[in-house]
Structure 1
């Protein structure tokens, strides 16, 4: 920070310290205002011009330095100067003060944040350039967060000062008038009877109703602005139109049909989306075959003779496809047609916020209209721009399932959930697996103890895990596929037969025509959604992988409820999506299941917590099944049993986690879990035993010592015994 910035920062600190040290914050209170009302009013009457000028200067300082008391200052303007002079003084002074705060934030912080968050700030600036004035006006009319934060936040953007000043002045004027008018009535309270006067009650009614009125007006103006230039159809073909037949789209369409809305679902490929065809179902089928192979290979754990695993990889993959076909009817067009959903095969693109053009799979086209549209186009594996990678014809979670020949040497790029699940499965099916992760551990979103346990298991099962390895290039050398990685500055050569890329996903938005309706996707393809899952337009929604931030089937279904309900009934009430209790499972062996905060997240957010652990090697059912690897870890506030987060690592972790998820959702603590009867011997007893560990750690020591003395007394053994010689 340069010298000028340090001088300004020091001056601000001194002024704020003086203000607080001299009790300025205590002066700017309603009680103090009324206590000195008479004497101040008399002085103002004799020195009106000086008083207005001094008041304006003080208001500018309070606003510019973000000091507490601006609301009382506004009421004081009405109390001492009346509506006309009060409104004039407050509107001018507040605008000047806000502009100064805007400039101070820009001078002190903008360059630093721009250097650190260049892309983010650039995107914000593009939005400000396009809709900044309107956005600022809505914040001023109905403050989503306090005005002083608006002053500071806007100073970090590229908005011009003159735009900021005049928009702030105009948008603050209605609210200023309401507060100044309320101040004029406060100044007229002389007795208790004045409290119920019509003028005073009207002023306070306006004060209370203004945010609601302003919110309605802002909503009306937003709709007018966002739909400007579009011609809304007089009639609609459908109540709800869903683009995409994956998990999110199917749930949205199902909900609409269930409430008897007319709904159509457009899908260009296979119904069921990634989850059915290339994700959850096939991967879990493959993992189950791999587990069976591991059981046979290590049958001696169960008192049986271990046998070499013989089988056809082609047969394993045929089983995977047969599992898909068994589940397929659940998501089939025939089933959804029976439910009342019109299923259309084709690719949709936007024409307007209410209209789409569908390129049908049979070569035709259709033009469809709907009151609300849900975008649920899902995602696809992301391919990093590594030289030579595309020439290797890489496997992904999309095309993996067409394999008929098992790779002898499989290179897996990525140490996240998808990469780890598939790496472990192929290793157990007897491929030589090398897993490359550019970070320093597997499953980076989990705590380090979880990552360490999974790494140990992977190494035990023969996976060659290469941490801190970043792939830099691929090529063919003497007929052999080779990858080169950077490992702490050294080049590492890794030969392989097939490469599986699992380094993240990107949303499917390429051919939706979002630009035609003024929507812009984020770098990973996802579209920015509001809390009600809507996009820029109140009748256009997105859910599932295309919306983010979670890319789970159950998250997609969760979002789809909000998208469908708000799309059908949003004109009456809108629901905000709730992510507070979002569980997920990584299906390695052992499984990793988590809900709520991890230790790392709690530390990052500054949330106080304590940890309760229970090892599954103590659970009778785990011992009986020779599945003792793993643990349960629960985070709670210090001294309380409320669950902040839970992680289960072990066999059946996903099922065990459900109990903690239910408890968190409904505000039940560990004491409730402990007090619930669990059948013996089951895996879910581990949840009760984890709760028991918390209880033991919080046993009331003093009370137990008293009880011990009580029981000794009942037995007649609590007698005085002289010390032995």
Structure 2
């Protein structure tokens, strides 16, 4: 049995930098990866989807070029070339991450699938054949999640798509039906509509993006419908079946029985943790009722010395949170700092066009928490930069604590919404008040300059 100081299972956005930093700190470290270095973000998530979304944005500008006084008589979408471009970007990112790990002294990369055999022992079924037993006093789990597949009658008999397989299509779907209206469903829905597919989204929730305020969710729905996407909310799929080359879904929505037929079906109802395949029970590790590892505010499980990073612990499932998990653990274990994930800010961005950037509390959550709130809203039709660029969909919203004039939360649905949200995040962390933001000098005519006008709405 090979002995290490630390073993990292999974090479996602938390596992890779943690393994490298531990090795550089003198810990003999092993990282076990069953597939590719980089985890979901590089291989199946952020990197490939945003690469393809950029192509969708280009198609949208060309298709609507007359709005900017440019006439394009005809254009063609080559999905195969779009996928090739995406693959090139992914391979570049993955290759860079792999090379960085390979040249790190004290770090061993083991390709294979790990399972616990005891509290601090693992058996790895090697990718190239054979097995290897390894052990370490410190074990870090960074195995992420997989697409969640619902128990819909007939679904197991058809060739449905997931967020991974849809990006390997080389022929454009004539009609893409999507189950689920979370970030994955909405981003892919708008992307394929822009590339030329008919798109229908079916979701169980009565409101899109159930964690957002109703006005934000309604505005996002309007964006999708304006893009040409058909939306069915409050829907429950009863049956799925293959009819020749098409897929037929029977569902109920708002008391009606409906049927829809599409060429392809994307299942995007959520994610499920990759935890049980590790055989955590052999290490005595506790899972919650959804299969996520239970951790404390220091990311430690119920077994001393075993920690969890990223999506497989539940909570906010974002790449940047996984990366911050690594910082929390490294600072705590190596630098002996008193770090914790408690009360950390959770910014996020949905990459529809326009983007939805979010940080802090929603208006609803702030009121439920007992705050006396003020709300500032500014439509993007009143933002100079948005008017000049011809991108006026969406609005800006800020929730303010009326007692101290500081920000509680922000939603920016607009062009570069994530970038504007990040400016507001810095203001929140710095304790800057709404009045200060209203009077702050921003370069003209940036989108961020509209922050002045957003808080001027409070003067009415």
Fold similarity call, TM over 0.5: yes
| 2:372 and 2:403 in contact (8 A); partners too | no
Equivalent of residue 412 in structure 2, options 631, 640, 648:
648
Shift of the alpha carbon at 1:567?
A: 4.3
Instruction: Judging by fraction of residues, say which structure has more helix.
Output: 1
Equivalent of residue 277 in structure 2, options 505, 511, 529:
511
Instruction: Judging by fraction of residues, say which structure has more strand.
Output: 2
TM-score of the superposition, structure 2-length normalised? 0.95
| 1:541 and 1:567 in contact (8 A); partners too | no
Deviation string for 1:480-538 (max 9, x for gaps)? 42100012343211111110011000011132121112223234321111111000122
Equivalent of residue 667 in structure 1, options 431, 447, 452:
431
Alignment correspondent of 1:539: 305
| Structure 1: gaps of 5 or more residues | 1-232, 698-725
Pairing of 1:568-587 with structure 2 (within 5 A): 568=334, 574-587=338-351
Pairing of 1:385-400 with structure 2 (within 5 A): 385-400=151-166
SS at match of 1:260: coil
Please tell me whether residue 336 in structure 1 is matched to residue 106 in structure 2: no
Alignment correspondent of 1:494: 260
Deviation string for 1:352-396 (max 9, x for gaps)? 332222222121222222221100001111000001112221101
Q: Which moved more, 1:424-433 or 1:473-482?
A: 473-482
| 2:116 and 2:122 in contact (8 A); partners too | yes
Alignment correspondent of 1:362: 128
| 2:162 and 2:267 in contact (8 A); partners too | yes
In structure 2, C-alpha distance between the alignment counterparts of 1:689 and 1:442, rounded to whole Å: 28
| 1:589 and 1:650 in contact (8 A); partners too | yes
Alignment correspondent of 1:283: 49
Q: Which moved more, 1:239-248 or 1:573-582?
A: 573-582
| Coordinate RMSD, CA, aligned | 2.0
Equivalent of residue 354 in structure 2, options 587, 590, 598:
590
Alignment correspondent of 1:260: 26
Please tell me whether residue 430 in structure 1 is matched to residue 170 in structure 2: no
SS at match of 1:339: coil
| 2:8 and 2:15 in contact (8 A); partners too | yes
Closer/same/farther in 2, CA of residues 693 and 260 from structure 1, 3 Å limit: farther
Alignment correspondent of 1:460: 226
In structure 1, C-alpha distance between the alignment counterparts of 2:354 and 2:298, rounded to whole Å: 37
Closer/same/farther in 2, CA of residues 493 and 620 from structure 1, 3 Å limit: same
In structure 2, C-alpha distance between the alignment counterparts of 1:338 and 1:685, rounded to whole Å: 44
Alignment correspondent of 1:617: 381
Q: Which moved more, 1:450-459 or 1:672-681?
A: 672-681
| 2:77 and 2:195 in contact (8 A); partners too | no
| 2:286 and 2:302 in contact (8 A); partners too | no
Equivalent of residue 184 in structure 2, options 418, 421, 431:
418
Closer/same/farther in 2, CA of residues 675 and 254 from structure 1, 3 Å limit: farther
Between structure 1 and structure 2, the one with the greater Rg is 1
SS at match of 2:278: coil
Please tell me whether residue 247 in structure 1 is matched to residue 247 in structure 2: no
In structure 2, C-alpha distance between the alignment counterparts of 1:331 and 1:619, rounded to whole Å: 40
SS at match of 2:276: coil
Equivalent of residue 604 in structure 1, options 368, 376, 381:
368
Please tell me whether residue 658 in structure 1 is matched to residue 422 in structure 2: yes
Closer/same/farther in 2, CA of residues 273 and 668 from structure 1, 3 Å limit: same
Q: Which has the higher contact order (CA 8 A, sep 6+)?
A: 2
Report how many residues are paired.
459
SS at match of 1:560: helix
SS at match of 1:644: strand
In structure 2, C-alpha distance between the alignment counterparts of 1:424 and 1:490, rounded to whole Å: 26
TM-score of the superposition, structure 1-length normalised? 0.61
Pairing of 1:78-89 with structure 2 (within 5 A): none
| 1:378 and 1:507 in contact (8 A); partners too | yes
| 1:240 and 1:568 in contact (8 A); partners too | no
Shift of the alpha carbon at 1:339?
A: 3.0
| 1:238 and 1:370 in contact (8 A); partners too | yes
In structure 2, C-alpha distance between the alignment counterparts of 1:258 and 1:608, rounded to whole Å: 49
Pairing of 1:36-435 with structure 2 (within 5 A): 237-332=3-98, 334-340=99-105, 341-435=107-201
In structure 1, C-alpha distance between the alignment counterparts of 2:310 and 2:3, rounded to whole Å: 25
Shift of the alpha carbon at 1:312?
A: 1.4
| 1:539 and 1:567 in contact (8 A); partners too | no
SS at match of 1:511: helix
Shift of the alpha carbon at 1:666?
A: 3.0
| 2:380 and 2:386 in contact (8 A); partners too | yes
| 1:528 and 1:535 in contact (8 A); partners too | yes
In structure 2, C-alpha distance between the alignment counterparts of 1:262 and 1:687, rounded to whole Å: 49
| 1:542 and 1:563 in contact (8 A); partners too | no
Alignment correspondent of 2:242: 476
SS at match of 2:445: coil
| Structure 2: gaps of 5 or more residues | none
| 2:385 and 2:447 in contact (8 A); partners too | yes
| 2:377 and 2:457 in contact (8 A); partners too | yes
Please tell me whether residue 554 in structure 1 is matched to residue 320 in structure 2: yes
Closer/same/farther in 2, CA of residues 692 and 268 from structure 1, 3 Å limit: same
SS at match of 1:449: helix
Please tell me whether residue 690 in structure 1 is matched to residue 442 in structure 2: no
Shift of the alpha carbon at 1:351?
A: 2.6
In structure 2, C-alpha distance between the alignment counterparts of 1:523 and 1:461, rounded to whole Å: 38
Deviation string for 1:317-347 (max 9, x for gaps)? 1111112122223321x21122333211111
